[in-house]
Structure 1
Amino acid sequence: MSRTVVAGYDGSAESRAAAEWGAREARLLGAELRLVSVREPVPLSYAALAEGRRDETDQVARAAVDGLRLRHPAVDVSLVRLSGRPGELLAAAVDDAGLLVLGSRGLSGFGGFLVGSVGQAVVARTRRPVVLVRAGEQAADEHAHDPSGIPSAAAPYRPVVLGLDTEGPDTALLTFAFEAAARRDTALRVLHSWPLPPYFAYGLPEDPELDARLAVDDAAALSEILGPWRRKFPSVVVREESRPGKPAAHLTEASKDASLVVVGRRVRSSPIGGRIGPVTHAVLHHSAAPVAVVPHD
């Protein structure tokens, strides 16, 4: 991975959370952090007003950089200002970097977050991993509780959760997840879901013997895929979980005790643009932890 983490920044609470998460990740990677601030074009009649707002935005961005440098002295923080369409420019800004971090609004009353149109466009377009972070995300949220029962950044990291498709396991996705767990010195919890037998849909009697056989076969397939990766990353404790049902539901539940959820996005050439995929889309909207979307062929 390139030693640069890019974070989209517009002064909002979401982008501040993304910048802080990006700084923490840059420290783990030994990388630099590049804040990218994008100004959208305005009609000429609004140019004077827009110029005043630009000056204010620049001041806020510079203050953010100064604050990040104070809070994360080990990280080299820089600021890049661009003008144009945010979705296009943010996707392009990460071409020479290893990771893009974006903020998303939290869903009031729910554990997940709302991915706006810019975030969805960037996730669907870029060939680099993108991490979505909720507004209000704190460093302590990624860690287990301390002995007093309070989340603390001094406590060990919560596990990294990986959603894996055993029919098409991708090297880039597995590498990202194992490296993320290794950096955090935490466990990697790998979840795979297999479809329920047809009788569930038609209200037919259950077949416990068939259920058991399907479960054993699926668990064996998952173990076979992960075997070489266990040997490649011997320091990472791997927890394999093969479950029947909907993968998005299992990943959402697992996110409640995760430092990071890792999912894939298959890159497809399409005349109507990129797609995120139904499982990844659902996880993005309902995860209680930051979500890394890793594009792969």
Structure 2
Amino acid sequence: MFSFEYPYVLLLLVLAVACVLFCKEKKRAIYFPNTELLGSLTRSRQWLLNTLRLAILSLLIIGLSSPIKTQQIILDNSKGHEISLILDASGSMAHLDKFRIVKAIMVDFISKRKTDKIALSVFADFAYTVVPLTYDKKSVIKMLSNIEIGVAGKRKTALYEALFLSSKLFNNSKSKERIAILLTDGKDNTNSVPLEMAIERAKENKIKVYTVAVGDQRDYNVDILSHIANSTGAKFFSANSQKSIEDIYKQINQLEKSEININKYEKKIYYFHYPLSLALIFLWIYFWRKNTWNLNK
């Protein structure tokens, strides 16, 4: 991000403009008859000198304000949590406005995971990764906000495929804490990936899969969702209201609290030497032109 270390110094630009416009240089006046051409030439030269003076002062002020570019450096990535959010986007999630409610709760959850990597996947007729593991929470939240029911179809629920696909995101992970939160209101009915294969992939990558069921208990399979969670060392939750969903995410947030902060620091790249160097060049041009014109008088 580009900014100024001392932005208030830029206010001196107003003073520089005022000085060039109103602080006139005192000179001896010698009058000649028929000097219209000479006056025109003098005004042209004076305009150039004033422009150079303004440029020099402006560049000096910009240099003093210390233009910088800030980069956030993150060290020791293995110490943070890596969390994959897996969201059911099938047609049934439109019932009772469940999809909108869940998205709002997930946004709040993401914003609280300050030092963790987050990934986002959705599933319905098929599963796909929306955002791979990243520290950029704003991008995840923006993408989540734009997702609507139907992006992956509406009729089916590729739950096991979603778990398998999400687990692959951790193939090259070095984090000690790998978590997946799988939220659904239905049962797998695509048979695209066997359940045990999906669980085995999660276990191989040492992922704890928290399963969250929403809505009517008749619509989802408690035994299977419990089996997924228990097999990976996590927990199964069920919810039938907005408050209960919020409470579940709060519980997960506490269970997987980041105890070790990722080391971060800001790297500042300074650019003050560029405007100062340019000011010196203009200053040399200013005195060169002024002395040249004085000698030619």
From the CA coordinates, give the structure whose radius of gyration is larger. 2
TM over 0.5: no
State the structure with bigger RCO (CA 8 A, min sep 6), 1 or 2: 2
TM-score by length of 1: 0.27
